[in-house]
Homo-oligomer: A and B are copies of this chain.
């Protein structure tokens, strides 16, 4: 019960530490009959991996995934899929001076107090490195969603105070991948890039936002009461390292509206029932209504800085900490595939759950 299992029918069990031999995940509940190979998973891992651009950490990891079980002759068998990703570039010595010192706004202090010990190297289990396993599992979920036409697309919508003004409907994967920032707005992407390089030069970091759209969602995913689709998405997003907020549809801005301005009126567009507007963000009463699911996630600036900070050690003595190591100056470019993967896990789980809603 270490909090490492996600999902109810499509479950992911995540394991591994930053500086151990490998990180991995087991996917339990993948239906039999899905064509699957490492080549389906690797591209999403490549979007997440370190060292992919000048904006991210220069730790060298190929993040090459191996499927150890659950697939025979390129087809899933309905049994657990074990995913294995070796760690290649551990540099535990970077962490020697942190042995007794709590890095500010990191998990050092809380792990130490919770467990009575901690894995110092690379932050151990609290490292964003372990999201490699999440992403690998998410790639399988995406393949299942793809069989029903469901598509997930996330992008960087803000870095520091620089925001995109693009209409969400104009955004394409090509535009997103055009810039190392993963912001589809060319002009703003350039400003974001400058900002990230500037804070990196200072040894500092900067926050950002990611927005995500899920298209072609069938009506009926999500459960009433506690397992509302937006509730499970919120949990998924807040489980990502450094995330501090989640909004669906109108979010905090909808608060200022009156119901007569906010309500999404139903219309018949010939083929199906739609809504004129989508302030609901594609979910009503916890259940998808067929409109695009549309949510945003806030990420704080990375807490590991390459500048001196005051802190305390395990004895409570004040210390000045000077961190070494290879770190991201801004988390959002690499968090895009993580947001997509977690969204895929939630949707895939609810897709399977929806098979049991009605008597046949």
9 closest A-B pairs (Cβ-Cβ)?
A107-B285, A3-B223, A3-B227, A205-B259, A235-B235, A110-B287, A32-B115, A245-B247, A114-B220
A359-B31 CB under 8 A given contacts A3-B226, A124-B72, A225-B2: yes
Interface string of A221-245 (1 = CB under 8 A from B): 0111111101111111111000011
Give chain A interface residues in 280-297, CB to chain B under 8 Å: 280-281, 283-289
Q: Which residues of B contact A78 (CB under 8 A)?
A: 2, 114-115, 357-358
Give chain A interface residues in 180-228, CB to chain B under 8 Å: 199, 202, 204-209, 219-220, 222-228
Cα(A271)–Cα(B300), bound, Å: 29
Interface string of A248-288 (1 = CB under 8 A from B): 11111011111111111111100001010001110111111
Query: Are A207 and B359 within 8 A (Cβ)?
Result: no
Copies, count? 4
Whole-angstrom distance between the Cβ of A117 and the nearest chain B Cβ = 6
Q: Counting CB contacts under 8 A, is A22 at the interface?
A: yes
- Identify which of A38-46, A169-177, A333-341, A348-356 touches chain B: A348-356
CB contact between A285 and one of B21, B126, B257 (< 8 Å): that residue:
B126
Q: Which residues of B contact A105 (CB under 8 A)?
A: 259, 262-264, 279-280, 284
* Nearest-neighbor residue (CB-CB) of A83 within chain B: B15
Q: Which residues of B contact A300 (CB under 8 A)?
A: 249-250, 254-255, 257, 262, 279
CB contact between A267 and one of B110, B312, B358 (< 8 Å): that residue:
B312
* Nearest-neighbor residue (CB-CB) of A251 within chain B: B245
Cα(A285)–Cα(B256), bound, Å: 32
CB contact between A107 and one of B2, B279, B284 (< 8 Å): that residue:
B284
Q: Size band of the A side of the interface?
A: 35 or more
Cα(A116)–Cα(B280), bound, Å: 22
Q: Counting CB contacts under 8 A, is A106 at the interface?
A: yes
CB contact between A69 and one of B16, B29, B81, B352 (< 8 Å): that residue:
B16
Cα(A11)–Cα(B26), bound, Å: 13
Cα(A285)–Cα(B311), bound, Å: 17
Q: Counting CB contacts under 8 A, is A94 at the interface?
A: no
Query: Are A110 and B288 within 8 A (Cβ)?
Result: yes
Q: Which residues of B contact A110 (CB under 8 A)?
A: 219-220, 222, 283-289
A310-B29 CB under 8 A given contacts A107-B286, A234-B235, A355-B356: no
Not counting A105-B280, A158-B255, a sample of 16 additional A-B residue pairs whose C-beta atoms are within 8 angstroms of each other reads: A1-B29, A2-B224, A9-B356, A31-B359, A32-B115, A106-B285, A110-B288, A113-B219, A114-B287, A238-B248, A244-B251, A244-B281, A255-B298, A258-B301, A259-B301, A262-B301
